[in-house]
């Protein structure tokens, strides 16, 4: 250890209070070092920790906290003093643990009391109090301390009595008490002996102290006396102890000095005593401290320490028979009048002001507090005990913070524990919801479709104008329609990234007129209602919690507000003003509010108490991006009540980001009505209104297009300036708002119900899926493996790395690709596992949906044949599916790679193939594009160690062309299946064929490919389809011809039993011999592929 | 003493060094006994030494005992065969060791009687000793209160193959279990170096 370290304690040794138990050097050094650098933060933190521990201690030993706190304080504040606040801590501890009888025998508790006693003016009072309360009366320490104090004051008899009491009570540890008693006795007897031997001398007090006279600190050194000037000498220490014994009045002096006051207070009154010539004897050399004097005067016994201080009459109480006291009093009184020294009286006064402090004796406070509870009347309405529990006052916020932290901690723990449970629960809920969905599916297919379609990015009002172009019954693909849309693209330009104009392709919106008429009628009705004063409870429809699948009922409009999400409502309502320039449409401006409002509700966290306390409330800047005026408008909305809700149409919130204007998609078939007028009117409106916006709103680019909608309402109403008109409209609009909204939704619903059938009949492809999955059904959006990615779909190329989620995958192989889909094989860079990545250029997670549906519908049957570990990354411009644990090769590879496949393998594959398709059909899902390429080889083939029972030979992950017949029951036209385009497909599949048959054709083709290496060729003979190849020539097994015969001629029969029968027939062939062959064949096959893999 | 003062100017010899160190032990032990209240304070008297007022015992028995020890120490110091002097303070009642003052002595064994005196002024040595004694006095700031009557014991560690003199006996080290140790200053005469340490019972405070 370096010497420097040592210096610290040595240099401030005078400032370190000795402790009975000693000090920890490390703490001492630290405390002293800290004191120098004045960095108290650590100490403060620790203190705070103790303070909060006191408040929130939940164990069964609160004394422990206090004990540690006190010990820590002692160690950390070597100087004691105000900073340590030790006295206050002790007082609080004593108060807090008051009446805790279990601690009465606890040495720690007694220790606190005794330490507290040192802070009291009169420890003796405290000891007798403890004694009377039976606190620590079984402990030797009480008696030892008590006796020590008494001894120090010279009350040897009393001290002895205390010892006797302790011995009598058998206070523990008894030996200690006894030894202390013995030592005490030996001290006393020695002193008595000395006192007898030595004739007390005035000047030579004490035996040995005589040689070096000691002076009490802070005593007055000023010469005194009129006749004889002499410095008052205050003897202290051994000198006094030794010499005072024989005289009772000397005891008094020793008491004063040993009173633990730190310093003897000079009292002029008593100090002036020597002036009296009579009072030459020694006792007055030491000026009695005022308090001690008072004590003596007021009462002999020590138990009245808190007697109120009356006027000082020092002489009265004095039991001492010395006559010198009476003149002493008068002397002091006189002195004030004729004092020769000017300083002293003032000092006297200053010092005497300390007297009232006596009233605040901490012991007294404690005792008072203990008596208080009985007479307590007021009821504290806040957690007072928490605020004042420790020494420091806690603010309510601090307490709340502490509670919050505790709660948060607890919560975190609970969360960790409950995470698995929650997962389960979520799973269950998903199932429930999907069940519900299934139940309602058939009834409300159209509605559902309508809502699911809104996957497309949001569109402002521009979308309306563009979609109002004549695109009747359009079924054109994307590109074409876009070009069409650009005919009226003056408005339709994809100006914002968010507003990619995909709408036109999807929105052959010609039903507009019809819809508008509907809504208009409804609105009129409602307006009437509203004007009649029907201010019913529908003022604020519950917009935020959208239940997507409530039943549409035209008659009860209010109930149906929930049908579509708020975004839909906005857009629907927004389009009305464009369509019809009736006064009724003035509503629209107001109608825009609800979505805006809901936006706010979503965006703003509830101001929970916890949030305030911890500041966990997201401090969101209102306008983070200066270019973005959305927040500004929102803020304006917040700030000023008359708000015309243009915000809503800007669609800034993420909730809208993927929705598209419903009209664009939903009215592909409506009859062209009034289109020309519509357009022109729109144009007119815009021309009219644009300039009349408030400058702020005008400046905000998001609002320019919406202004057409919002302002048109105003203009259409009165033809006057819009904004004022809007303002005027506020109240009635509000009234109508609630009703008009559902009406809008209903009207939309009506139209879509009508159109829906036709749509599905005509097109069930990508567009329909888009519709079906927009918004994402809850089962999908809540799926744990669905990740919504805000960024653009990463480019995927062969031999490149791609990052999905947080993992990076190297793409090793491209299976196939077309404009819309790509299928890759990738290897995770983390664990080198194989993945199949499917990329779809549209943000429609169809495969994922189908996989989830399969999982749900098949339950336990959902096995290795399907992708059991599938994640979906949904991007704004596409989606990627990640299938884990995929083997690299497909059935197609096998067919291409092997010249001839052994029959056993084929049987195995077909067996699995039939099983897979059977399961699909059981789940009412048609795959639609069965080909060798879509079947990945399962572990049964690729993994020689796989469990034969569990492992499947095939795995199917791709559902690009699949059809969910529960969701799309009306699709009866299998023409658009890829298989239907093949020669055999064209032959086999007629207009009236069931969708399931598509898969049968697929199976037949695959089997044919495996058997003969080329595609199936069929011909019809006596209304029975046959294959051109002669099966029996190649294979002696007649099973194949049977298989083809049945599959090709299934007709309208149900496919599931058929497939099962065929499968059972194969399994009948699985005997042990077969299994042996199969194993050999599989090994051979595996080797082939292994080699290929290596190459 | 006079002889030593005379030599003062020339430097430190082995004999003089042993003298100085032994003297330090005499005063050091006295100081400890007084400071720690092993004997009643009345039985001490003041002397001026090292520029300090030190207290030495007046108890004749204690005096002679200490003189005896110091004499022995001086001899061993001269022979450079002493390694350590320990003042053990233990409770009389249960003879539990409460404090342990340890003075480690490093002897320069190359120093011989006839070798040339070392260069170090006596004043410098005295200053060093003074700071050690001062520290002993200052230890009350952290040492625990000795609540029971205590006795003291002197242990001297010497080289191994030393015949135990009369009135001496072999003893254990008398360590304190769970102790806090504080190193004090050290001083050196260039021949003997004394490092002081005090160990005391650690409080249960964490």
Position B87 confidence tier, pLDDT thresholds 50, 70, 90: very high
The burial class, CB within 10 Å (0-12 / 13-18 / 19+), for B196 is: buried
Of A1, A19, A68, the CB nearest to B183: A1
Residues of chain B contacting A194 with CB distance shorter than 8 Å: none
Considering only alpha carbons, which residue of chain B is nearest residue A209?
B42
Sign of the dihedral through C-alpha A451, A455, A460, A463:
negative
Contact B203 A23 (CB under 8 A): yes
B180 neighbourhood in chain A, CB within 8 Å:
22, 24-25
> A70 to chain B, minimum CA–CA distance in Å?
10
Tell me the two tokens of residue B114.
């006839």
pLDDT at residue A709 in the model: 40
CB atoms within 10 A of CB B64: 10
Residue B47 pLDDT: 92
Instruction: Give B45's contacts in chain A (Cβ within 8 Å).
Output: 211
Residue A216: both structure tokens together: 């009490």
Where b means 16+ CB within 10 Å and e means fewer, A376-395 reads eeeeeeeeeebbebbbbebe
**Tokens coding A55:** 């408040």
CB spacing of B205 vs A3 below 8 angstroms: no
Name the residue facing A9 among B41, B141, B180 (closest C-beta): B141
CB contact under 8 A, B205 and A25: no
- Residue A1091, Cβ neighbours under 10 Å: how many? 9
Q: According to the model, what pLDDT value does residue A261 have? A: 44
Reported ipTM: the value is: 0.78
- The tens digit of pLDDT for each residue in A977-1012 reads 777 777 777 777 776 777 788 888 888 888 888 888
The answer to whether residues A509 and A560 touch, using CB atoms and an 8 Å cutoff, is no
CB < 8 Å to B98, chain A: none
Q: For residues A354 and B125, what is the distance between their CA atoms, to the nearest angstrom?
A: 51
Please, which residues bridge with residue A880 across strands? A839, A873
> CB A18 to CB B140 under 8 A?
yes
Shortest CA gap B93–chain A (Å): 8
Nearest to A365 by CA among A32, A652, A120, A557: A120
Bridge partners, residue A870, by sequence: A883
pLDDT on residue A270: 54
Contact between A530 and A488 (Cβ < 8 Å): no
Nearest to A21 among B93, B144, B184 (CB): B144
Q: Is the dihedral of CA A1063, A1069, A1071, A1077 positive or negative?
A: negative
Q: Chain B residue with minimal CA distance to A141?
A: B147
- 8 Å CB contact between A979 and A1001: yes
B205 touches chain A (CB under 8 A): yes
Q: Is B63 on the interface with A (CB under 8 A)?
A: no
How does B82-118 read in b/e, with b if 16+ C-beta sit within 10 Å? bbbbbbbbbbeeeeebbbbbbbebebbeebeeeeebb
Chain A with chain B: Cβ pairs closer than 8 A: 76
The listed CATH number (3.40.50.300, 3.30.420.10, 3.30.900.10, 2.40.50.140) that belongs to domain B11-201: 3.30.900.10
Which residues lie across from A807 on neighbouring strands? A804
**B203–A24: do the CB atoms touch at under 8 Å?**
yes
Which residue among A9, A68, A212 places its CB closest to the CB of B142? A9
What dihedral do alpha carbons A507, A513, A517, A518 form, nearest 10°? Answer: -30
- Contact flag B205-A72 (C-beta cutoff 8 Å): yes
B199 → chain A, closest CA residue: A25
| pLDDT computed for residue B5 by the predictor | 45
Write down the residue that tokens 């170090």 correspond to.
B120
Structure confidence at residue A1012 (pLDDT): 80
Nearest CA in chain A to B45: A208
Can you spell out the DSSP letters for A8-76? HHHHTGGG----TT---HHHHHHHHHHHHHT--HHHHHHHHHHHHHHHH--SS-HHHHHHHHHHHHHHH
What share of residues in chain B are helix, strand, coil (percent, to 5)? Answer: 35, 30, 35
Chain A within 8 Å of B147 (Cβ-Cβ)?
yes
Rounded Cα distance, A737 and A579, in Å:
18
Tell me if residue A399 falls in helix, strand or coil.
helix
Write the DSSP string, A240-299.
HHHHHTT-HHHHHHHHHHTS--SSPPP-HHHHTGGGSTT--SGGGGSPPPHHHHHHHHH-
Percentage of chain B modeled with pLDDT above 90: 27
Q: Are A864 and A951 in contact (CB under 8 A)?
A: yes
Residues of chain A with Cβ-Cβ distance to B195 below 8 Å are none
Facing residue for A16 by CB, picked from B42, B142, B144: B142
Alpha-carbon distance values, A19 to A13, A80, A107, B143 (Å)? 13, 11, 17, 8
Please list the residues that pair with A884 across neighbouring strands. A835
Put simply, the answer to whether B145 touches A72 (Cβ < 8 Å) is: no
How far apart CA A887 and CA A690 sit, in angstroms, is 60
Interchain pair A25, B201: CB under 8 A: no
Q: Would you say A696 and A625 are in contact if contact means Cβ atoms under 8 Å apart?
A: no
In the residue annotation, A893 being an active-site residue is answered as no
Tell me which residue in B46, B93, B205 faces A75 most closely, judged by beta carbons.
B205
Chain-chain contact of A207 with B140 (C-beta, under 8 angstroms): no
Q: DSSP letter at B148?
A: S
Rounded to 5 degrees, what are φ and ψ at A260?
A: 60, 40
Maximum alpha-carbon separation in chain B:
54
Q: Are A1051 and A903 in contact (CB under 8 A)?
A: no
In DSSP notation, A686-748 reads: HHHHGGGS-HHHHH-HHHHHHHHHHHHHHHHHHSS-HHHHHHHHHHHHHHHHHHHHHHHHHHH
Residue A335 confidence (pLDDT): 46
Burial A409-424 (b: 16+ CB within 10 A, else e): eeeeeeeeeeeeeeee
Residues in A touching B144 (Cβ below 8 Å): 19-22
Question: Mean pLDDT in each 10-residue stretch from start to end of chain A (1095 residues)?
Answer: 58 79 79 65 81 80 85 82 78 80 84 84 83 85 88 87 88 84 86 72 44 55 56 53 43 43 52 40 36 48 54 45 53 48 48 47 66 59 72 78 84 85 87 87 62 46 41 43 43 41 41 42 47 43 47 48 42 42 43 42 42 42 51 55 44 41 42 43 44 46 42 40 42 43 39 38 58 72 78 78 79 79 80 78 80 82 79 82 80 77 80 85 83 79 66 79 76 66 76 77 84 80 77 70 81 80 82 78 71 50
Give how far A50 is from chain B: nearest CA, Å: 14
Q: Distance between CA atoms of B131 and B52, rounded to whole angstroms?
A: 10
Q: Do residue B183 and residue A6 have CB atoms under 8 angstroms apart?
A: yes
Chain B 158-177, residues with CB within 8 Å of chain A CB atoms: none
Helix (H) or strand (E) holding A379: none
pLDDT at B45 over 90: yes
Residue A783 CA to residue B69 CA, distance in Å, equals 89
More confident position, A733 or B141 = B141
Among A929, A958, A964, A999, the one annotated catalytic: A929
Of the partner residues A22, A179, A242, the one whose CB lies closest to the CB of residue B142:
A22
Burial class (CB in 10 A: 0-12, 13-18, 19+), A148: middle
Which residues in chain B have Cβ-Cβ distances shorter than 8 Å to A13?
138, 140-141
Give every CB contact of residue B91 below 8 A, 6+ residues apart in sequence: B98, B148, B149, B150, B151
Measure in Å the smallest separation between the Cα of B137 and chain A Cα atoms.
9
* A175·B201 Cβ contact <8 A: no
Nearest CA in chain A to B145: A20
Identify the residue with better confidence: A370 or B33. Answer: B33
Q: Across the interface, do B138 and A179 touch by the CB < 8 Å criterion? A: no
- DSSP per-residue string spanning A639-698: H-S----THHHH--SHHHHT---HHHHH-SS----SHHHHHHHHHHHHHHHGGGS-HHHH
Q: Which residues contact A239 (CB under 8 A, 6 or more apart)?
A: A205, A206, A209, A210, A213, A214
Let me know the angle formed at the C-alpha of A92 by A91 and A94, rounded to the nearest 5 degrees: 65
The contacts of residue A132 (CB under 8 Å, 6+ apart) are: none
Written as six digits, the tokens of A445 are 């297919």
> Which of A11, A14, A22 is the mutation pick for testing B, counting most B CBs within 10 A?
A22
- Residue A455: is it exposed, middle or buried by C-beta count within 10 angstroms (0-12/13-18/19+)? buried
With CB atoms and an 8 Å threshold, state whether A22 touches B93. Answer: no
Q: Return the beta strands (E) in A833-894 as ranges.
A: 834-840, 870-875, 878-884
- Contact criterion met (CB < 8 Å) for B138 and A1: no
Q: Which residue has the tokens 């051979």?
A: A1084
Give me the torsion for CA of A469, A475, A476, A477, rounded to 10°.
120
Mutation target to probe the A interface, by most A beta carbons within 10 A, among B104, B142, B143, B147 is B142
Q: How far apart are CA A890 and CA A834, in angstroms?
A: 13
- What local confidence, expressed as pLDDT, does residue A1056 receive? 83
Reported as a single tens digit per residue, the pLDDT across A68-87 is 888 888 888 877 777 777 88
User: B180 touching A, CB under 8 A?
Assistant: yes
Nearest residue in B to A241, CA atom: B42
Would you place residue B9 in the very low, low, confident or very high pLDDT band (cuts 50, 70, 90)? low
**CA proximity to A772, closest of A381, A453, A428, A357:** A453
Q: What are the residues of chain A with a beta carbon less than 8 Å away from any beta carbon of chain B?
A: 1, 3, 6, 9-10, 13, 16, 18-25, 28, 68, 71-72, 75, 78, 175-176, 179, 183, 207-208, 211-212, 238, 242
CB-CB: which of B41, B149, B185 is closest to A183?
B149
Q: How far is CA A401 from CA A471, A932, B181, in A?
A: 62, 63, 42
CA–CA distance, A170 with A157 (Å, rounded to integer): 20
Total residue length of chain A: 1095
């Amino acid at each position: 250890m370096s010497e420097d370290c040592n210096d610290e304690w040595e240099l401030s040794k005078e400032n370190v209070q000795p402790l009975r138990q000693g000090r920890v050097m490390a703490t001492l050094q630290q405390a002293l070092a800290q004191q120098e650098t004045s960095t108290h933060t650590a100490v403060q933190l620790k203190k705070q920790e103790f303070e909060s521990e006191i408040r929130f201690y939940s164990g069964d030993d609160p004394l422990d906290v206090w004990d540690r706190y006190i010990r820590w304080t002692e160690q950390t504040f070597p100087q004691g003093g105000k900073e340590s606040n030790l006295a206050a801590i002790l007082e609080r501890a004593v108060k807090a643990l008051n009446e805790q009888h279990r601690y009465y025998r606890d040495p720690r508790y007694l220790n606190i009391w005794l330490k507290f006693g040192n802070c009291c003016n009169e420890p003796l009072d405290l000891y007798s109090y403890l004694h009377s309360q039976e606190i620590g009366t079984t402990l030797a320490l009480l008696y030892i301390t008590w006796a020590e104090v008494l001894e120090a004051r010279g009350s040897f008899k009393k001290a002895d009595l205390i010892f006797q009491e302790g011995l009598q009570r058998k206070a523990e540890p008894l030996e200690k008490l006894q030894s202390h008693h013995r030592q005490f006795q030996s001290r006393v007897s020695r002193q008595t002996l000395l006192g007898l031997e030595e004739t007390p001398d005035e000047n030579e007090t004490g035996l040995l102290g005589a040689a070096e006279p000691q002076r009490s600190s802070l005593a007055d050194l000023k010469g005194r006396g009129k006749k004889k000037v002499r410095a008052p000498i205050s003897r202290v220490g051994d000198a006094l102890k030794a010499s005072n014994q024989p005289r009772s009045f000397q005891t008094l002096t020793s008491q004063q000095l040993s009173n633990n006051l730190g310093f003897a207070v000079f009292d002029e009154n008593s100090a002036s005593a020597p002036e009296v010539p009579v009072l030459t004897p020694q006792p007055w050399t030491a000026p009695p401290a005022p308090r001690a004097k008072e004590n003596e005067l007021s009462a002999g016994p020590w138990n009245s320490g808190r007697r109120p201080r009356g006027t000082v009459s020092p002489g009265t109480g004095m039991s001492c028979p010395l006559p010198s006291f009476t003149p002493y009093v008068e002397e002091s009184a006189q002195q004030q009048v004729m004092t020769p020294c000017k300083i002293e009286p003032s000092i006297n006064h200053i010092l005497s002001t300390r007297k009232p402090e006596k009233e605040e004796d901490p012991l007294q406070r404690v005792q008072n507090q203990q008596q208080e509870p009985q007479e307590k009347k007021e009821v504290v309405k806040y957690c007072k005990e928490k605020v004042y529990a420790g020494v420091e006052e806690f603010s309510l916020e601090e307490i709340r913070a502490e509670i919050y932290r505790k709660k948060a901690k607890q919560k975190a723990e609970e969360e960790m524990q409950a995470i698995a449970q929650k997962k389960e629960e979520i799973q269950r809920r998903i199932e429930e919801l999907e069940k519900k969905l299934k139940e309602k599916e058939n009834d409300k297919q159209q509605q559902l479709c309508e809502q699911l379609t809104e996957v497309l990015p949001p569109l402002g009002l521009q979308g309306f104008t563009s979609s109002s172009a004549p695109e009747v019954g359009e079924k054109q693909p994307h590109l074409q329609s876009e070009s069409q849309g650009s005919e009226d693209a003056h408005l339709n330009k994809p100006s914002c990234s968010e507003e990619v104009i995909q709408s036109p392709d999807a929105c052959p919106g010609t039903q507009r007129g019809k819809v508008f008429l509907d809504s208009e009628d409804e609105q009129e009705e409602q307006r009437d209602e509203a004007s009649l004063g029907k201010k019913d409870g529908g003022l604020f429809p519950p917009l935020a919690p959208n239940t997507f699948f409530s039943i549409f009922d035209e008659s009860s409009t209010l109930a149906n507000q929930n049908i579509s999400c708020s975004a839909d409502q906005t857009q629907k309502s927004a389009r009305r003003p464009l369509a019809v320039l009736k006064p009724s449409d003035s509503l629209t401006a107001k109608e825009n509010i609800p979505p805006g409002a809901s936006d706010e509700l979503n965006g703003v966290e509830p101001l929970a108490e916890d949030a305030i306390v911890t500041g966990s409330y997201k401090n969101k800047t209102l306008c983070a991006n200066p270019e973005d005026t959305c927040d500004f408008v929102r803020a304006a909305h917040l700030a000023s009540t008359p708000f015309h809700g243009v915000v809503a149409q800007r669609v800034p919130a993420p909730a809208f980001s993927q929705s598209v204007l419903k009209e664009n998609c939903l009215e592909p078939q409506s009859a062209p009505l009034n289109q020309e007028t519509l357009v022109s009117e729109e144009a007119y409106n815009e021309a009219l209104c644009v300039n009349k916006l408030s400058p702020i709103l005008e400046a905000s680019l998001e609002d320019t297009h919406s202004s057409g909608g919002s302002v048109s309402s105003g203009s259409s109403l009165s033809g006057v300036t819009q904004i004022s008109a809007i303002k005027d409209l506020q109240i009635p609009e509000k009234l109508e708002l609630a009703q008009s909204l559902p009406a809008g939704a209903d009207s939309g619903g009506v139209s879509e119900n009508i159109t829906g059938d036709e749509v599905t009949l005509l097109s069930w492809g990508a567009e329909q899926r888009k519709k079906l999955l927009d918004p994402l059904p809850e089962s999908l959006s809540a799926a744990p493996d669905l990740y919504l990615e805000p960024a653009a779909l990463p480019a995927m190329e062969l031999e490149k790395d791609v990052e999905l989620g947080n993992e990076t995958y190297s793409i090793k192989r491209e299976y196939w690709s077309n404009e819309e889909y790509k299928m890759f094989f990738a290897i995770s860079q983390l664990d080198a596992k194989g993945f199949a990545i499917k990329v779809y250029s549209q943000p429609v997670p169809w495969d994922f949906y189908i996989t989830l549906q399969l999982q749900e519908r098949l339950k336990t049957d959902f096995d290795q044949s399907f992708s059991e570990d599938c994640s979906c990354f949904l991007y704004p411009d596409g989606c990627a599916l990640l299938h884990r644990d995929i083997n690299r090769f497909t059935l197609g590879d096998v067919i291409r790679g092997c010249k001839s496949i052994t029959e056993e393998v084929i049987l195995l594959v077909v067996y699995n193939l039939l099983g897979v398709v059977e399961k699909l059909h059981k789940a009412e899902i048609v795959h639609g594009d069965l080909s060798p390429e879509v079947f990945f080889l399962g572990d049964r083939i690729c993994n020689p160690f796989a469990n034969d029972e569990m492992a499947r030979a095939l795995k199917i992950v791709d559902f690009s062309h699949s059809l969910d017949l529960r969701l799309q029951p009306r699709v009866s036209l299998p023409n658009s299946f890829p298989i239907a385009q093949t020669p055999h497909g064209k032959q086999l599949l007629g207009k009236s064929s069931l969708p399931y048959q598509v898969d049968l054709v697929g199976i037949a083709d695959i089997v044919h490919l495996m058997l003969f290496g080329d595609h199936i060729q069929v011909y019809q003979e006596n209304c029975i389809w046959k294959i051109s190849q002669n099966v029996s020539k190649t294979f002696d097994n007649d099973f194949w011809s049977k298989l083809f015969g049945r599959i090709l001629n299934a007709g309208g029969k149900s496919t599931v039993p058929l497939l099962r029968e065929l499968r059972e027939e194969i399994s009948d062939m699985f005997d042990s011999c077969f299994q042996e062959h199969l194993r050999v064949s599989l090994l051979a096959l595996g080797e082939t592929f292994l080699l290929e893999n290596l190459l | 003493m006079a002889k030593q003062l005379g030599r003062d100017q020339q430097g430190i010899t082995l004999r003089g060094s042993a003298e100085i160190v032994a003297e330090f032990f005499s005063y050091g032990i006295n100081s400890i006994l007084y400071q720690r209240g092993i004997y009643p304070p009345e039985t001490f008297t003041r002397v001026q030494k090292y520029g300090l007022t030190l207290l030495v015992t007046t108890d004749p028995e204690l005096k002679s005992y200490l003189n005896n020890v110091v004499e022995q120490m001086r001899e061993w110091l001269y022979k450079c065969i002493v390694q350590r002097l320990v003042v053990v303070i233990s409770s009389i009642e249960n003879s539990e060791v409460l404090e342990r003052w340890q003075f480690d002595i490093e002897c320069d064994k190359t120093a011989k009687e006839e070798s040339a005196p070392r260069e170090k002024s006596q004043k410098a040595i005295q200053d060093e000793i003074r700071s050690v004694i001062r520290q002993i006095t200052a230890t009350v700031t952290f040492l625990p209160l000795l609540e029971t009557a205590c006795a003291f014991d002197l242990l001297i560690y010497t080289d191994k193959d030393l015949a135990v003199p009369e009135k001496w006996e072999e003893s254990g080290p008398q360590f304190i279990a769970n102790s806090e140790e504080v190193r004090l200053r050290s001083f050196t005469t260039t021949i003997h170096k004394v490092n002081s340490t005090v160990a005391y019972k650690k409080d249960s405070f964490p």
